[in-house]
């Protein structure tokens, strides 16, 4: 069972949490079996994180997804001169984050907005798949979501290798990009499922 962070995480990432020893690639690879057991039809929204400014994180119990602004109050629309609708919101596998982050208070460091106990592999939800979460619907984008320098700094070089490995790319362990196609409210504990 996944236990997401319950305490509010707010503020700049630097100095937010004490440094911790990162897992090596063997330890990360040993967790693939548990990640592969993620539900493929109906899962659960485990954590919602809003990024009010660069490096800031707010853990929410409830959020509004909007076709124009993505997750309301998030900085997606202000991060670049012309933000891509294909990357309006990001979803990541909660089992993968639990493995990489090691403790629940570090989940939000990944920088994603919706943390789900759900199979995000390309085989299960290829681009164009629509996912109902709460009363909102998002559509999986064809824009890849890959590990970057920030991910390396927060979780270590082996974590970056892990999410960008062949298995990591197959399972979308760094997460997926999506756009909001139906406005709605999402709450921690809501069901996530593929729509017709």
The position carrying tokens 């109902």 is 132
* Residue 42 within any structural domain of the chain: yes
Q: Report if residue 121 sits inside a domain.
A: yes
Question: Is residue 6 assigned to a domain?
Answer: no
Question: Residue 166: its pLDDT value, please?
Answer: 95
Does 70 reside within a domain? yes
pLDDT at 19 (0 to 100): 55
- Listed as ranges, residues in the chain with pLDDT below 70 are 1-20, 79-82, 147
CATH number at residue 136: 2.40.33.20
Looking at the domain assignment, is residue 19 inside a domain? no
- Residue 80's domain spans which residues? 25-194
In a domain, 174, yes or no: yes
- Report the chain's terminal Cα–Cα distance, integer Å: 28
Alpha-carbon distance of 44 to 32, in angstroms, equals 19
Say if pTM beats, i.e. exceeds, 0.95.
no
3-state SS string for 96-151:
HHHHHHCCHHHHHHHCCCEEEECCCCCCCCCCCCEEEECCEEEEECCCCCCCCHHH
């Amino acid at each position: 069972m996944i236990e997401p962070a319950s305490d509010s995480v707010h503020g700049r990432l630097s100095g937010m949490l004490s440094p911790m020893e990162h897992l090596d690639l063997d330890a990360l690879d040993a967790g693939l079996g548990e990640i592969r057991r993620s539900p493929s039809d109906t899962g659960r929204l485990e954590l919602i994180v809003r990024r009010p400014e660069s490096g800031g994180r707010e853990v929410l119990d409830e959020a509004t997804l909007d076709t124009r602004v993505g997750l309301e109050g998030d900085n997606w629309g202000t991060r670049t001169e012309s933000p891509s609708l294909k990357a309006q919101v990001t979803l990541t596998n909660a089992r993968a984050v639990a493995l990489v982050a090691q403790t629940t208070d570090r989940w939000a460091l990944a920088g994603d907005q919706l943390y789900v106990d759900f199979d995000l592999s390309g085989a299960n939800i290829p681009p164009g798949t629509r996912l109902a979460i709460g009363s909102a619907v998002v559509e999986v984008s064809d824009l890849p979501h890959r590990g970057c320098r920030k991910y390396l700094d927060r979780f270590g070089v082996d974590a970056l290798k892990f999410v960008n490995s062949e298995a990591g790319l197959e399972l979308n362990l760094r997460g997926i990009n999506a756009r909001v196609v139906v406005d709605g409210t999402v709450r921690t504990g809501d069901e996530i499922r593929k729509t017709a």
